[in-house]
Amino acid sequence: DTAVSQTPKYLVTQMGNDKSIKCEQNLGHDTMYWYKQDSKKFLKIMFSYNNKELIINETVPNRFSPKSPDKAHLNLHINSLELGDSAVYFCASSPTGGAGQPQHFGDGTRLSIL
Amino acid sequence: LAKTTQPISMDSYEGQEVNITCSHNNIATNDYITWYQQFPSQGPRFIIQGYKTKVTNEVASLFIPADRKSSTLSLPRVSLSDTAVYYCLVGDTGGGYNKLIFGAGTRLAVHP
């Protein structure tokens, strides 16, 4: 059983479109995250939710909107996609949002903007 | 924020022990030191975490000197499957929240 699963694995779309990426974790964790890994391979945190409540919101364009319907799911919706949004997006979870807790990552969604 | 510095790349051969050292001169009193491993097309995977002295698990050992300004990840008898990027992270309390700050990592290549 996959602990943190993301769909789709690959997403190819055109500039200006709106798309969503879904994430689910079956670990019973309270906290979930979205990270972006760009072409230079740097991983940067975007958002974090603890039990459906937003707790970390980094400097991310407001075209990106996370939604957590329950603590096992954290989806990422992106409006008006731009070329610079091309990257791999990783979802992660941890037992709680406390500092230092190991995070469990999904295998990523590779987003390519044409 | 405590920043980490680690070698960009390392090469080794199967069966050897690999030691990757990370510098974190500005580590704060409450910060933990954590290492993650990332294979191509996969998300990072937690390897080991420590606060001081030595920690060992089934995958690796982590050595932390008394001043905690550096740490060394030790991988015993590496195999080809250990080829990956290894990230050293120092816990950012971020107001108490679990915000991982990734650097460039060390790209380890294990050769036959």
Model confidence over A1-42: pLDDT tens digits? 679 999 999 999 999 999 999 999 999 999 999 999 988 888
Q: What are phi and psi of B81, to 5 degrees?
A: -70, -5
pLDDT at B93: 47
* Chain A residues whose beta carbon lies within 8 Å of the beta carbon of residue B97: 48, 55-56, 97-99
Which DSSP string do the residues of B32-86 spell out, in sequence order? -EEEEEE-TTS--EEEEEESSEEEE-SS-EEEE-TT-SEEEEEESS--GGG-EEE
Give me the pLDDT at residue B102, please: 83
When pLDDT is averaged across residues B33-37 and rounded to a whole number, the result is 94
pLDDT at B112 over 90: yes
> Using 50, 70 and 90 to split pLDDT, how confident is the model at B29?
confident
Which residue(s) pair with B65 in the sheet?
none
Higher pLDDT, A33 or B31: A33
Subunit contact A48:B96, Cβ cutoff 8 A: no
- Residue spans of beta strands (DSSP E) within chain A: 4-7, 10-13, 19-25, 31-37, 43-50, 53-57, 64-70, 73-78, 87-94, 104-105, 109-113
Which candidate in A23, A25, A103 is best for mutational testing of the B interface (most B CBs within 10 A)?
Answer: A103
Question: DSSP character for A101?
Answer: -
* Percent of chain B predicted with pLDDT > 70: 92
Report which of residues A60 and A2 the model is more confident about.
A60
Once rounded to an integer, what is the mean pLDDT over residues B7-29? 95
Chain A contact present for B96, CB below 8 A: yes
Q: Residues 6 or more apart from B4 whose CB is under 8 A from it?
A: B22, B23, B24, B88, B89, B90, B103
A8 preceded by a cis bond (ω within 30 of 0)? yes
pLDDT at B1: 53
User: Alpha helix (H) ranges present in B30-95?
Assistant: none
* Banded pLDDT at B103 (limits 50, 70, 90): confident
**Please, what sign has the CA dihedral across residues A4, B73, B61, B112?**
positive
Chain B's closest residue to A101, CA to CA, is: B98
B21 pLDDT band, cuts 50/70/90, is very high
Mean pLDDT of chain A, nearest integer: 92
CB contact under 8 A, A99 and B34: no
**DSSP 3-state percent helix, strand, coil across chain B (nearest 5):** 5, 45, 50
How many angstroms separate the CA atoms of B62 and B41, rounded? Answer: 26
Sequence letter at residue A16: G
Question: Residue A110 pairs with which residues in a beta bridge?
Answer: A10, A88
For strands B70-75 and B18-23, give the pairing. Answer: antiparallel
Strands B33-38 and B45-50, sheet pairing: antiparallel
Chain position carrying tokens 């409006």: A79
Mean pLDDT value across residues B74-90? 95
